[in-house]
Structure 1
Amino acid sequence: MSSNKNKVACPMDCYDACQGQMYDGNIKGSKENFVTNGKLCVNFANLLKEENLQNSLFQGKTISLDESLNILLDKLKSTTPAKTLFYTGSGNLGLMQSSTKKFFTQYGSTLTKGSLCDGGGGAGIKAGRQNVINPPIQKLIDADIIIVWGRNFSVTSSHMYNLVKDKTFVTIDPICTDIAKKSKIHMQNNPKTDYELALLFTRFAHMQDLEDRDFIEEFGTGADWFFDISRNRPVVSYEATTGVPLSQVNDFFDLIEGKKVAIMLGLGVQKYFEGAQIMRCIDSFAAYMGYHKQDAGGVWYLSDSAYGYKKQFEIKGSNKKVSVAKTDFASFDLVFIQGGNPAVSAPNSAKVKEGLKKSFVVYFGTTLNDTCEYADLIIPSSSFLSKKDVRLSYGHEFKAISEVVVPKNENSISEYELANYLLEKFNFDKLKDEDEVISYYANHKPDLKDFDTFEFIEEVEIEPLYKDKTSDNFYFITAKSKNSLNSQFAKDDFVYLHSSTNFKDNDNVTISSKYGSAKFIVKINDDIKSDCVFLFAGNKNANYLTPFDEDESSNSAMYQEVLVEIELS
């Protein structure tokens, strides 16, 4: 690690985990970080322009930091602990942010379980190979072909993409994304048919003797069962359900035969009730081809970035936990929200907002967001530029370090400071020394052991959306924008439709699902599949349409498990 005291880790929720450095009052991309490679991405640049909260607010009136802490303390002391909810978002993914959980666990708050993001996919991969660890990024660099599956790689992982931008790409996605336009082959499959495509690929691999028998015999269990699933229906039937021509699948196998192949998996494939099964089918196809454990290539998803590290804030407790995908905020007397924006990002916005109105809401974060409208008490968190931290990446193995490069706003408080304040007030044991924690994460190099056995999925029970779809229905799809990150930065609240829908630019429409409805303004874009409704993640109205429910295996959200209808307003 460099001894310079000017390093800045980007705290945002994206694969690259950039590292910047402060030079003469300006932050530039760090050259000592292999992935950042001296360049700042759009999101990091946008973050540096954000206006941070300057003061605490109580019921809309400015108060001092001390006053806000006293109000929080009084509220905690007068509320039954189990009737308080500790709810964290992903506004800051630095490791020090988890320090507050230590207090709320000891205090006895209800916690959340599951994920609004990657839970189903992670559960599917873990079921097959015991952990969710990405291969070293050098294996991506050394691959010949990169299959981008349900992930807009050049937008969501711009630094990683720059390392491999001259490779040959294949994209599998219902939307003609930026990376799809750069790809040799784009398979524009129907939503929630990715598992069928994986089974079809497995069938083709077997017909062309391309399966990796050595890998299967040494590491695989259940491969024959998996293959049997793929051959229990006519090959031609896959063409009708997936929307992918068999001729394109032939072209795909011509392209990948004998090549070193990497698969970049995104969130899009697993935003469904059976998301774990869908992901496990794709990972099983990769194993059938022997893409794991090769000198180059492999499968990348959202890695368990903390794997191999010992938690420095030891958190033990038997706290009640509620699914983050169906949190009933109304059932709590006190809701403490840290770095999150559930009013926009959680499923079924109408129920979320009604629940927030019925509780005492504390918001702790750096900037105002939509959820602050429902907050009784707002406490400013210190800027990431004013606190020490370490950021581990879920996209690659490199870490980013943060030093204090800007003086702290004295009206703000860091997560570590708030946790220690509350621990002391309740006579709980205080946290480990901050520098000790930072030093451990900065200097520890985990042993990322590869799996010993790969368990192929042997049974698939997935209910396709196309079974219930009528000519009046549309599939619902969300994805990241290159100009924003979820509900941060530039707002894009339009709905994007294909021109064949016969709607027009700037039409006012009402979109409805069985969970709710909302009004949108139309933008026509023929990159969208004709039977899809597309919205960018962070669209303030998108989650009025999504299920207030969890997937089958990971207590996680399943945003795309829905069909919608559109009518002119």
Structure 2
Amino acid sequence: MNSNNLVACPLDCFDTCQAFVDEKGNLKGSKEHLVTHGKLCVNFANLAKEEFLTKAYFEDKEISLEESLNILVEKIKATKKEDVLFYKGAGNLGVMQNSVKTFFAKYGATLTKGSLCDETGSLGLELGRGGINVNPPLEKLINSDVIIAWGRNVAVTSSHMYDLIKDKTFITIDPIRTKTAKISDLHLQINPKTDHELALLLTRFAHMENLEDESFINEHEGAEWFFDLAKSRPLISYEETIGIKLQEITKLFELIKDKSVSILLGLGPQKYYEGAQIFRAIDSFAAYIGVHNKSKGGLWYLDDSSYGYEKQLVAEAKNKIALPTVDFSKFKLVFIQGTDPVVTAPNTKKVIEGLQNSFVVFYGTVLNETSKYADLIIPSSSFLSKKDVRLSYGHELKAISNYIESKNENTITEYELANFLNEKFAFEKLKDEEEILNYYINTKVEDYSFIKKFEFLEELEVESLYEKQKENQYYFLTSKRKNSLNSQFKIDNYLYVNPCLGFNNEDEVLLKSPYGQTKIKIKNSEDIKENCVVAYSGNKYANYVTPFLTDEAANSAIFQEVLVEIELS
């Protein structure tokens, strides 16, 4: 295959596909890429069909790219550094996307820290592993016997990786009866925010079944303290709080006994204030039964894909604020790159009000809900017309992008924009683009997934949502679906509930929480647990009710740390 025809999927998902352009100009999945394996998923196919932005706008009037760049420079120069905010999303995860951030860091603007996505869970893993979060090699997943999909709808959110393991024994742990749950040998439909309790209960059963990994336990610290946590309450007490029967736990151990086990962790279990502790409890259970450091199996999450590489685009900002609680109104100039905070950030009402009180620059490839509030829109070049490298957080493979179509002359790449601004402000130019890309393409990092240092969780302080729940309140869950990715593509704006709640399809209801309220339409589904309601990612109403707060340790969003009420409107 001609490497010049390769193109990496830039989307924010586990699989990180690689495609190529055939002789007829069609985009096809790369057969040489183990995960993609010759297929394109729905979201990559949708991305290839997108109508990309090719015009710049100022105050809703079309202008030239040159005019838009000049306005940007004038606005930055006229604004004090402390009044400028750079806000970047994950609409494109190529390494070159950080180019613009380096300029704003040098300029002295405020940048963000934390995440709307995964950093709470990542911190939980790092706290137990000496500061490292790296997934095991894919081979260990493929060769394992049993897959535990813990809060991860693998068949949908990792469809390519699922194809590699679909013949395995599956166990799903999830409040929602997902596609993966439906094809699993066992589904533990637990109550939300009880994953840490389940980890402790499983540890008790592992001890009773003599399934401890004595070698790993003896080589690392804290296992006795962790087991003390696990045996601190009667077994039967878990049934009511977790929402499953002890017989189901017995079935789980029948399925995993004498088998190699892989745990695929999703985002859901860590979308809480104590999300890091919850993940650390799960990881400690995994260590207790011998999942780590084996020839088969392991634990996979969103790992630090850049670990082992020397950072080529450095953005050291003096001022940073937590991403989930950004108050846009406190900044006179807001530069937004590749994201849609009106839909994806907590407290939509506050986000909109803040944007309305700032000068907003929107830099991206497609228009969205946030671009409606932009004063200046600058079109970014599409992923098909720029070079990049994608490092995957789902596996160790990387994907390469080359030019496969001519760049629209009315658009500008991230690297070009960064150097344009560097020149205008007399800053040093970035490293040569080819030098940066070749470093990532040619550098082979060693496998850092072997856990040399591990400390079992010894203390656990999690405030349970079930202790606060009133009779008319429901757990609010956010989840990904097949035909959309975050706020991209085919968006579903319904609230999904179990039919036992008594609503009709298309009923308009008032969804309320302590953080806000919104009107939304109902769809019934038997797949939703009776005490839960679900809004899929990209739902433009969902974040009117989510907490404008961060977790306890990682400056990250806690979308599910909320109970909601529903009233017919």
- TM-score range normalised by the length of the shorter chain: over 0.9
Q: What's the counterpart of residue 189 of structure 2?
A: 188
Residue 500 of structure 1 aligns with an amino acid whose one-letter code is C
Q: What stretches of structure 1 of length at least 5 have no aligned partner?
A: none
Q: Which residue of 2 aligns with 1:545?
A: 545
What is the correspondence of 1:267-282 to structure 2 with a 5 Å cutoff? 267-282=267-282
Distance in 1 (CA, whole Å) between partners of 2:405 and 2:394 is 28
Q: Is the 8 A contact 2:292 2:451 kept in 1?
A: no
Cα distance in structure 1, aligned partners of 2:323 and 2:117 = 10
Counterpart Cα distance in 2 of 1:60 and 1:314: 34
Q: Is the 8 A contact 1:124 1:279 kept in 2?
A: yes
Indicate if the aligned counterparts of 1:307 and 1:448 stay in contact, CA closer than 8 A.
Answer: no
Distance 1:45 1:389 in 2: 19
Q: Secondary structure at the match of 1:38?
A: coil
Cα distance in structure 2, aligned partners of 1:102 and 1:138 = 36
Amino acid at match of 2:273: F
> 2:177 corresponds to which residue?
176
Q: How does 1:218-233 map to 2 (within 5 A)?
A: 218=219, 220-233=220-233
Superposition pairs of residues 247-266 of structure 1, within 5 angstroms: 247-266=247-266
**1:159 aligns to what?**
160
1-structure distance, mates of 2:347, 2:526 = 28
Q: After the TM superposition, which residues 354-433 of structure 1 pair with which residues of structure 2 at under 5 Å, given as runs?
A: 354-433=353-432
The residue type equivalent to 2:202 in the other structure is F
Deviations 1:437-480 (CA, angstroms, capped at 9, x unpaired):
11111111112322211111100000000001011000000110
Asked whether the equivalents of residues 54 and 380 of structure 1 are also in contact (C-alpha less than 8 Å), the reply is yes
Structure 1 residues 410-419 or 24-33, which shifts more? Answer: 24-33
Is the CA contact (8 Å cut-off) linking 1:9 and 1:402 kept in structure 2? Answer: yes
CA distance in 1, matches of 2:354, 2:544: 14
What is the CA–CA distance in structure 1 between the aligned matches of 2:181 and 2:314, rounded to whole Å?
Answer: 44
The aligned residue for residue 5 of structure 1 is 4
Deviations 1:141-190 (A, max 9, x none): 00000000001101000110000111110000000000000000000000
How far apart are the structure 2 equivalents of 1:3 and 1:455?
47
Offset, 1:12: 0.3
Q: Which residue pairs with 2:495 in the alignment?
A: 495
| 1:77-92 correspondence to structure 2 within 5 Å | 77-92=77-92
- Per the TM alignment, residue 3 of structure 1 is displaced from its structure 2 partner at its CA by 5.1
Does the 8 Å CA contact 1:494/1:523 hold for their aligned counterparts?
yes
Partner of 1:133: 134
The size of the alignment, in residue pairs, is 566
3-state SS of paired residue (2:363): strand
RMSD over aligned CA atoms reads 0.7
The yes-or-no answer on 1:200 pairing with 2:205 is: no
Which residue is equivalent to 1:314? 314
Contact 2:18 2:33 in 1 (8 A): yes
Cα deviation, 1:376-433, whole Å, max 9, x if unaligned, reads 0000000000000000100000000000000001000000000000001111000000
The answer on whether the counterparts of 2:20 and 2:29 sit within 8 Å (CA) in structure 1 is: yes
CA deviation vs aligned residue, 1:348-394 (integer Å, no higher than 9, x gap):
10111101100000000000000011100000000000000000100
1:496 and 1:525 in contact (8 A); partners too: yes
Instruction: Report what 2:236 is aligned to.
Output: 236
The residue that corresponds to 1:123 in the other structure is 123
Distance 1:30 1:188 in 2: 37
* Aligned match of 1:217: 218
Say whether 1:480 aligns with 2:480: yes
Matched, 1:565 2:565: yes
Is the partner of 1:283 in helix, strand or coil? Answer: helix
> What do the CA deviations read for 1:54-103 (whole angstroms, capped 9, x no partner)?
10000100000000000000000010011100000110000000011110
Match of 1:67 in 2: 67
Give the match for residue 530 of structure 2: 530
Structure 2 contact 120–271 (Cα < 8 Å) conserved: yes
Matched residue SS, 2:4: coil
Q: Percent identity?
A: 59
Partner in structure 2 of residue 290 of structure 1 = 290
Measure, in 2, the Cα distance between the counterparts of 1:44 and 1:325: 27
Structure 1 CA distance for aligned equivalents of residues 100 and 399 of structure 2: 21
TM-score between the two structures when normalised by the length of structure 2: 0.99
